[in-house]
């Protein structure tokens, strides 16, 4: 990283430390780390947590659906998702008869993107998101209103370049998403919903709220809850909690509970936001979701099975991102209509002396129409972990493989690139320059849960494209009427993308404050070297403070 950027990050850390970390929260990977950090310190049947990017969870002891409506839910609430879970407040704050919540996150990001021959690849910028909510809740009825104010400042003016160079990190994404303005401030309605209890243990929510796929049920086992919330949820639908503005949905959610079974239906439209400071309007994109979840819990085993289906319809008049020529994509004015069908299973084994073992499987197939093309794609994830009984550091080691299909022929009538819909991608790619689309990821992680709830997480990723004839994709879905939401760069006929190492530290403080620091380095391979001949390596780091009331 350039000296100027290093000085900026060091100065930011120093100033935030002096101020006692005056802000709020955690993000996908890091907070997930926090959740994991606590997952073995107490009996497996205990857990209570919420997420600023991972699903906000109700106490696990209740087995309550995670996407259950609660006035105190954060921007990621009805269950969580996006990036990382934050601890739930110790008590409900009241203002007369009203429940009141305040969430304030401030982050300084420093980027040293892969080196182009022209453009600004090394820079730093800042953003803030303040959310204030009020509501009431009873057994039969509840309502919640949450307003948000965001600020995105000091954006780099030359971090967007033509052709394959594209946006040189998220600074370029925010700059392009806000009309090439360096400083942006806005306010909008983040959540506004009502909820009803219905017969047959059903609940209905209507209005504007956040929704995270895979977060329908809160497992009673603490380790299993962490696994589901941080490694399953939000792969296809999320609030993109790591982004400066995030997203919500205008729609309705209906859930039924019967013992260890849950059925959830959801339909809605995503709001604007994410990289755009104005998060008020909605997009001409429809998404429909249905899932059946079965959970079980015994003395030594706990598991969660979900079978789901998602319908996605994008009727915006935007240029699609795929491996066809510009002329072919421009001529294709048909809409995207995709069905995604899949299942996942997560399991935890508890032993007397060897610690805890876990594994998960996640898979999905897609069919439908990608404009004039036929959609045929799929994705798969397999992961296993071990938590040995080592006091003080309480480690959790994991290894896994993720695959999202790519397209091998840009000239046929079939689109084989897996399409990730509207996810919160950062929980699965903490250095956000890739996602699950046309991607193979061999990864390992280590989490250390230290005294005083400090949590350290480090990951290694070996990345390559699933198909050399397809694109290197990035992004997390639609966020503007005239922007597709995913970027793509031609691979140059290569597959090897990059190796990535990162580390994060989550530090809880007093009075609702917490601080997160993160650093990542990527060693670019043949795909990146062909696009950025000035230097194929990159670095990314940030310091974030959160306040939750």
Average pLDDT, integer, range 417-437: 96
Convert the pLDDT of each residue in 327-351 to its tens digit: 999 999 999 999 999 999 999 999 9
pLDDT of residue 67: 54
Whole-model pTM: value is 0.85
Convert the pLDDT of each residue in 52-62 to its tens digit: 333 333 323 33
User: Are the C-beta atoms of 306 and 293 separated by less than 8 Å?
Assistant: yes
Of 432, 533, 421, 419, whose CA–CA distance to 471 is shortest? 419
Longest dimension (CA), the chain: 64
61: helix, strand or coil: helix
Q: How many CB atoms lie within 10 A of CB 16?
A: 19
Question: Tokens for 504?
Answer: 């994060």
Question: Could you tell me what percentage of the chain is helix, strand and coil, using 3-state DSSP and rounding each to the nearest 5?
Answer: 15, 45, 40
> What is the rounded CA–CA span in Å between residue 310 and residue 474?
21
Average pLDDT, integer, range 385-393: 95
User: Are the C-beta atoms of 41 and 534 separated by less than 8 Å?
Assistant: no
What is the β-pairing status of strands 141-153 and 93-95? Answer: unpaired
> What is the rounded CA–CA span in Å between residue 227 and residue 12?
32
Q: How many CB atoms lie within 10 A of CB 390?
A: 11
Extended beta strands in 271-416, E state: 285-297, 301-314, 336-350, 356-370, 373-387, 395-404, 414-415
Convert the pLDDT of each residue in 270-303 to its tens digit: 999 999 999 999 999 999 999 999 999 998 999 9
Half-sphere exposure of 28 (CA within 13 A, CB side): 26
Q: Which residue has the tokens 């310190």?
A: 41
410: helix, strand or coil: coil
What is the β-pairing status of strands 93-95 and 184-198? Answer: unpaired
pLDDT at 80 over 90: no
Of 205, 246, 282, whose CA–CA distance to 84 is shortest? 246
In this structure, CATH architecture of domain 3-94+110-119+197-548: Beta Barrel (2.40)
pLDDT of residue 88: 43
Of 196, 190, 199, 236, whose CA–CA distance to 82 is shortest? 236
Convert the pLDDT of each residue in 198-254 to its tens digit: 998 899 999 999 999 999 999 999 999 999 999 999 999 999 999 999 999 999 999
User: Are the C-beta atoms of 340 and 236 separated by less than 8 Å?
Assistant: yes
Question: Tokens for 58?
Answer: 């109700």
Helix or strand (DSSP H, E) at 170: helix 170-177
Half-sphere exposure of 297 (CA within 13 A, CB side): 20
φ/ψ (deg, to 5) at 353: -125, -25
Question: Tokens for 407?
Answer: 């397209």
For residue 76, what are the CA distances in angstroms to 248, 378, 390, 464? 8, 27, 33, 31
pLDDT at 495 over 80: yes
């Amino acid at each position: 990283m350039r000296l100027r950027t290093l000085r900026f990050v060091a100065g930011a850390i120093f100033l935030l430390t002096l101020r006692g970390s005056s802000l709020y929260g955690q993000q996908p990977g890091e907070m997930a780390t926090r959740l994991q950090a606590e997952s073995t310190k107490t009996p497996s049947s205990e857990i209570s947590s919420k997420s600023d990017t991972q699903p906000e969870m109700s106490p696990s002891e209740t087995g309550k659906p995670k996407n259950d409506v609660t006035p105190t839910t954060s921007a990621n609430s009805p269950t969580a998702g996006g990036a990382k879970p934050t601890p739930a407040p110790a008590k409900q704050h009241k203002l007369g008869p009203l429940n009141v919540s305040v969430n304030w996150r401030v982050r300084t990001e420093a980027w040293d993107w892969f080196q182009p021959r022209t453009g600004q690849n090394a820079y730093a910028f800042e953003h803030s998101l303040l959310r204030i909510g009020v509501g009431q809740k009873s057994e039969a009825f509840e309502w919640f209103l949450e307003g948000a104010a965001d600020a995105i400042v000091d954006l780099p003016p030359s971090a967007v370049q033509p052709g394959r160079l594209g946006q040189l990190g998220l600074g370029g994404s925010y700059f392009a998403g806000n009309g090439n303005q360096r400083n942006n401030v806005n306010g909008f309605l983040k959540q506004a919903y009502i909820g009803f209890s219905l017969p047959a243990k059903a609940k209905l929510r209507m209005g504007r709220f956040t929704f995270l796929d895979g977060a329908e049920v809160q497992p009673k086992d603490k380790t299993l809850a962490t696994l589901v919330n941080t490694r399953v949820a939000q792969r296809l639908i999320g609030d993109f909690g790591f982004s400066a503005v995030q997203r919500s949905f205008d729609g309705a959610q209906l859930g039924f509970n019967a013992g260890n079974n849950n059925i959830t239906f959801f339909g809605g439209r995503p709001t604007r936001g994410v990289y755009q400071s104005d998060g008020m309007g909605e997009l001409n994109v429809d998404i429909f979701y249905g899932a059946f979840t079965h959970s079980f819990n015994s003395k030594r085993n706990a598991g969660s099975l979900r079978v789901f289906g998602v319908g996605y319809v994008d009727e915006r008049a935007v240029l699609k991102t795929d491996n066809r020529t510009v002329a072919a994509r421009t001529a294709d004015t048909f809409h995207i209509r995709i069905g995604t069908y899949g299942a996942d299973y997560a399991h935890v084994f508890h032993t007397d002396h060897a610690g805890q073992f876990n594994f998960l499987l996640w898979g999905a197939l897609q069919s439908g129409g990608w404009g004039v093309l036929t959609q045929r794609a799929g994705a798969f994830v397999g992961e296993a972990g071990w938590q040995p009984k080592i006091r003080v550091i309480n480690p959790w080691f994991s290894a896994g493989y993720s695959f999202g299909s790519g397209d091998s022929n840009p000239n046929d009538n079939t689109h084989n690139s897996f399409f990730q819909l509207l996810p919160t991608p950062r929980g699965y790619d903490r250095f956000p320059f890739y996602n699950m689309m046309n991607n193979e990821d061999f990864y390992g992680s280590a989490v250390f849960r230290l005294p005083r709830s400090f949590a350290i997480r480090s990951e290694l990723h070996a990345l390559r494209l699933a198909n050399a004839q397809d694109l290197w994709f990035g992004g997390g879905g639609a966020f503007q009427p005239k922007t597709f939401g995913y970027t793509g760069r031609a691979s140059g006929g290569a597959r090897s993308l990059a190796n990535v190492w990162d580390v994060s530290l989550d530090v809880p403080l007093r009075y609702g404050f917490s601080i997160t620091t993160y650093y990542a380095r990527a060693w670019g391979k043949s795909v990146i070297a062909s696009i950025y001949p000035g230097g194929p390596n990159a670095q990314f780091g940030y310091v974030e403070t959160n306040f939750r009331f």
